[in-house]
Amino acid sequence: MNTKLKCLLLAVQIATAGTLSAQNIAINSTGNLPDTSAMLDVSSQVKGFLAPRMSTTERNAIILPATGLLVYNNSTNTFNVNVGTAASPSWSTLSFGGATYATGNSGTDFNISNSGSAYTFNIPDAAAGARGLVTAGTQTIAGAKTLTGATTVSGTLTASNTVTLSSTAGGAATDSILTVNAAGVVRKRTVADVVNTVNYPATVIVAASRTSNYSPGSSFATLAYNSAAINIGNAYNTSTGIFTAPATGLYQIMISNMYSVSNSLNNTLSARIIVNGATETEVAGSLTPYAGSTIRGSIIGNTVVEMTSGQTASVSIGNLSNTMTPSVGTGQHKLKIIRLK
């Protein structure tokens, strides 16, 4: 071997030894030094990085794969990284747009696909032995969830607790009515299905009595008939004394309140039927017994009013002069509300 060839081989060996012992390495076409933070700094504007490519079987055959080992799986067309240990590898798929997140032999993968800057979040159903995200069977999703925008439910929506609407739009004459049957199923009905506005039969919807004592005064105060034998749809509140019209129609409101007096003074008391905050009818009763005697009498009121759904009615007692003692009990203090049509 001539002297020139020996010198060339020696130079190559020295250069190779220097490269292998370097703290970091740069691979580029510019001659730039590697970044100080990188052990291997590969840069190019015309070529990319090509990771080792292999099938799932070949990947699983790697002996003691290091934690963090990266390969390209050409069986699934995904990058796989070992997030386990060398002795117990666990291959995880790197997530990108269009990548899948579930494994299995059948079913549909949960995935995020993209078209430009628009991403679609696909949530498939899961079944026994099949991959997916949402089970097709009964499932509980705990915690408060907020859905914004239009939400479509193609099947049956079941609520085991209270359904609350924070706001509702104003009604229209062409709107339908929602009804709830004994099983809790909500159905959409037309007005004609629920109410025959042409031949609506007269119906007693409230029949109530005052069965506890109270003290009338000079100022008017709402009288609550606290015991209801009939109260269709709980339209009458026996605690507040407020009746709320369940539907638009013609209503008859009747009261009959009995009182007793044991003095010889001129005793008077008035009763008002209030509809939607205004006095519809006011009646008064007067009792003046002989000295040493007790007499009883009733204040009777009756009115017929047109009420729209949601309007209110109540009975107010006041304008007392001297003494009027209520005779309370079933049949003595009565309120009856009849829907005429």
Query: 33 lies in a domain?
Result: no
Query: 144 lies in a domain?
Result: no
Query: 78 lies in a domain?
Result: yes
What is the pLDDT, as a whole number, of residue 253?
Answer: 96
What is the pLDDT, as a whole number, of residue 209?
Answer: 95
Domain stops at, among 86, 105, 124: 105
Main-chain phi, psi angles of 79, to 5 degrees: -85, 135
Give the DSSP H/E element, type plus range, for residue 11: helix 3-20
Give me the sign of the Cα torsion angle 230, 233, 239, 242: negative
Domain stops at, among 46, 77, 105: 105
Instruction: Say whether both 99 and 209 belong to one domain.
Output: no
Report yes or no: 83 and 75 within 8 Å, Cβ to Cβ. Answer: no
Instruction: Say whether both 216 and 96 belong to one domain.
Output: no
- The whole domain housing 69 covers 38-105
Q: How far apart are CA 267 and CA 270, in angstroms?
A: 11
Q: What is the pLDDT of residues 142-192, one digit of tens each?
A: 777 787 778 887 777 777 777 777 777 777 767 778 888 777 788 887 765
Query: 321 lies in a domain?
Result: yes
What is the pLDDT, as a whole number, of residue 168?
Answer: 74
**C-alpha pair distances (Å), 227 with each of 130, 137, 221, 302:** 60, 47, 18, 20
Query: 314 lies in a domain?
Result: yes
Per-block average pLDDT, block size 10, for the chain (341 residues)?
51 46 83 91 91 96 95 93 94 69 58 75 67 67 77 77 74 76 78 59 90 94 95 94 93 95 92 95 92 90 93 96 89 94 83
What is the pLDDT, as a whole number, of residue 259?
Answer: 95
Query: 132 lies in a domain?
Result: no
Query: 183 lies in a domain?
Result: no
Domain stops at, among 59, 86, 105: 105
What is the pLDDT, as a whole number, of residue 19?
Answer: 45
How many structural domains compose the chain? 2
Helix, strand, coil percentages (3-state) for the chain, rounded to 5, are 10, 40, 55
- DSSP for 180-247? E-TT--EEEE-HHHH--SSSPPPEEEEEEE--S-----SS-EEPP--EEEEEGGG-EETTTTEEE-SS
What is the pLDDT, as a whole number, of residue 12?
Answer: 47
CATH code, domain with 328: 2.60.120.40
Query: 113 lies in a domain?
Result: no
What is the pLDDT, as a whole number, of residue 8?
Answer: 47
